Amino acid sequence: MPKRHPDHQPLRSCAVCREVHPKREMTRLVRRVDGSVSVDPTGKAAGRGTYLCDDPTCREPARLADGVRRTLSVAVEPGPLVAEVTNATP
C-alpha cells in the first residue's frame, strides 16, 4: 500500500455548490441516527456526514436546506441549522 505524502491534503465537495476544497477549510455537518442534523466541530462524530464551504451564498437558508436534503436525504428546518452553521468556524 502506498504511503501518504506529508503534504497530502484531503479534499471534500461542498453540499451546496459542489466545489472541491481542502477538508480542513470546510464545516462538517452530520446526520445522526435519530435523523437530526448538526454541526460536527471535531469531524469525528458518528453518522452520515457532508461538508459545507465558507462561501456566504452556500449558507443562505434555502440553498443550505436544499443541499443538506440532497446529500443527507433528510429534510431540515433552515433557521436553526443556519444559526448553528454561522456560529461554527472550521
Percent of the chain with pLDDT over 70: 97
- CATH label of the domain that carries residue 45: 3.30.1230.10
pTM of the model: 0.86
Query: Which residue range(s) make up the domain with 43?
Result: 11-87
> Which three three-digit cell numbers place residue 6?
506529508
Whether 40 is covered by a domain: the verdict is yes
Radius of gyration of the chain measured on its C-alpha atoms:
13
Least-confidence region, from 3-7, 17-21, 43-47, 70-74: 3-7
Whether 74 is covered by a domain: the verdict is yes
pLDDT higher than threshold 80 for residue 57: yes
pLDDT higher than threshold 90 for residue 4: no
- How many folded domains does the chain comprise? 1
Whether 2 is covered by a domain: the verdict is no
Using alpha carbons, list the distances in angstroms from residue 8 to 27, 28, 52.
19, 19, 20
Percent of the chain with pLDDT over 90: 70
What pLDDT was estimated at residue 2? 72
